[in-house]
Amino acid sequence: MSWSLDLVPLPPCALLGGPPLSGLLWTFLLLFLWYCYRVGSDPPSHSGLHKTSSSFSRSSSRLPVDPGHSAPKTSVAIGMETGEEEEGPESYLTPVLSHAPFPTEVAAESRKLYRALQEYAKRYSWAGMGRIHKGLRNQAKITERPSIQKPHLFYLPDVPSIPFFPRDAHRHDIEVLEASYPIILAEFQAVYQRGIDAKFGWTYQGPKAQAVFPLYNAGGCVAGNCRACPCTYRTLLSLRTFISSNSLGSAGFWLLGPGTTLGGSYGPTNTRLRCQLGLQTPAQCELVVGGEPQCWSEGHCLLVDDSFLHTVSHNGGAEDGPRVIFSVDLWHPNVAAAERQALDYIFAPEQ
């Protein structure tokens, strides 16, 4: 199909002789269409990135180079620093690989955990690992400072923490545990009547008056005890936030005898909350976390951050019997999914 310029009626131009004016307008129209095409087809330019790259190139070109040595190679691994680095209020948001070297003066345990973090990042990604990296670097400062919250193994920074959390933090899991209270109590009574002995799966933690019947211990399933409490075991598996894949998580029956007081202690990490379902709770029992006292109630859960300084006491008599709770470790609600996956890898249960 051919187009004729005569289709556009234009008055003749006296200065240019008439008809050439229509050809000039068509030329401008074609130039405009060509400009629009170029603007729409060009990719967006990242001016900030180009500016950074060019400034880096200019600064690199000004560096003196020793002719006897080759230019230093850039490395993607995080080196060990020799001095203190400056930490801004948002340093945990900065890229981990750029300027966050690991300090040399940290404890051997933190260095071991950091190597596990490096292995995880090589296998998966550094994305979302800023808070974990910062926590490993600053763990020595956390354990040395006088504080009411001082986890001795790993502290994840910038996590909102209070001694007792509301039910809404883990409403689903709390409702599942409370609905299963009758069957959990019945299975506890069955294993309790067999006797508290190591050959029946019981262990002692701290004083002789505190016995534990673990279903999960440090992230590992205790198969014999789970077979003895099949309904309780299935209830554990139905929980959405139960820590079952790393050594920070445990679950089981905790028994405290009358006249026993457990002194102040700190939990290993602030990345978990300990959910305690009351099974048998005499009136003289008390739990104090971060200076706040609470009492258990049979059939109801307490959601506790045990990274705070906490004490437990049973001031009743022998006629009151032991205090019994079913304790389950759940993820802190402010720990992201990527961080949970990384912590499962870093704190993998020992084989």
Helices (H) and strands (E) in the chain, counts: 11, 13
Euclidean distance between CA atoms 288 and 313, whole angstroms? 9
Decide: 328 and 232 in contact? Cβ < 8 Å: no
pLDDT, residue 155, reads 93
* pLDDT reading at 45 higher than 80: no
Query: Domains, the chain, ranges and CATH?
Result: 164-335 (2.60.120.330)
Which of 218, 182, 188 has its CA nearest to residue 200?
188
pLDDT, residue 29, reads 82
What tens digit of pLDDT does each residue of 137-194 get? 888 787 777 789 999 899 999 999 999 999 999 999 999 999 999 999 999 999 999 9
pLDDT, residue 101, reads 54
Helix (H, G, I), strand (E, B) or coil at 204: strand
Q: In whole numbers, what is the pLDDT of the chain averaged over residues?
A: 79
Question: 10 versus 331: which is more confidently predicted?
Answer: 331
* pLDDT reading at 92 higher than 70: no
Euclidean distance between CA atoms 205 and 195, whole angstroms? 17
- List of long-range contacts for 292-298, beta carbons under 8 Å, 24+ apart: 292/163, 292/164, 294/164, 296/323, 296/325, 298/181
Question: 56 versus 36: which is more confidently predicted?
Answer: 36
Q: Kindly report the number of other CB atoms within 10 A of residue 326's CB atom.
A: 27
Cα–Cα distances in Å, from 263 out to 55, 166, 247, 285? 59, 25, 24, 14
* pLDDT reading at 51 higher than 90: no
Residue 298, strand partner residues: 278
pLDDT, residue 9, reads 53
Span 104-129, mean pLDDT?
A: 84
State the residue for tokens 């070297």: 101
Euclidean distance between CA atoms 176 and 231, whole angstroms? 12
pLDDT, residue 180, reads 97
Cα–Cα distances in Å, from 254 out to 208, 227, 268, 338? 12, 18, 18, 31
The three state secondary structure string of 275-303 is EEEEEECCCCEEEEECCEEECCCECCEEE
pLDDT, residue 256, reads 93
* pLDDT reading at 12 higher than 70: no
pLDDT, residue 252, reads 97
pLDDT, residue 35, reads 78
pLDDT, residue 102, reads 54
Cα–Cα distances in Å, from 271 out to 97, 166, 245, 307, 331? 24, 16, 14, 9, 6
What tens digit of pLDDT does each residue of 255-288 get? 999 988 888 889 999 999 999 999 999 998 999 9
* pTM of the shown model: 0.71
